[in-house]
Amino acid sequence: MPTLPWTAPHQPPSATAEVHVFASRFETRSLWGALRFLARTPGVWRQVGAAPGAYGATLKAEPFRRTFWTLSAWESPGALRDFARSGAHAPTSRGLSGQMRDAAFASWTAPAGELPVSWAEVRRRLG
């Protein structure tokens, strides 16, 4: 799976509005774990498209390296939290936790006009 394009289900109120940006990197223990991650991606991707407060999301998959990168922008930390605890995301994250070797997370605020944030910026923030 190549990088999924930036998808913006909802528009922020203005280009200067502060949005909550969230990025993650997941490394699976095995190729089997990477395949399981890929198999569950479509359900979570559909959920993002309908999530209240979602201003955009993308996924960069490197399955043969067993590494996945996510980037999303939200109206607020609460909108992200509600998304993560519901729909396909909640059982997917629980179901894949045993497959993970490593994970890193970063969040920050940015003006909506700077979306989508570059992958270089995501990598810098995730270390």
Per-residue pLDDT of 83-102, as tens digits, reads 999 999 999 999 999 989 99
Task: Specify if 19 maps to a domain.
Answer: no
With respect to residue 15, please indicate whether it lies within any of the assigned structural domains.
Answer: no
Q: Region 46-73: what's the mean pLDDT?
A: 96
In the prediction, which pLDDT does 125 show?
A: 97
What's the pLDDT score for residue 1?
59
Evaluate if residue 58 carries a pLDDT over 70. yes
What is the rounded average pLDDT of the residues 42-67? 96
The reply to whether 3 falls in a domain is no
Residue 2 has pLDDT above 90, yes or no: no
Residue 2 lies inside a defined structural domain of this protein: no
What residue type is 16 in one-letter code? T
Number of domains in the chain: 1
- The one-letter amino acid code at 116 reads P
Looking at the domain assignment, is residue 10 inside a domain?
Answer: no
We report the CATH number of the domain holding residue 34 as 3.30.70
Owning domain of residue 67? 28-126
| Tens digit of each residue's pLDDT (9 = 90 or more) over 6-27 | 999 999 999 999 999 999 999 9
Percent of the chain with pLDDT over 70: 99
In a domain, 39, yes or no: yes
Q: Does any domain span residue 65?
A: yes
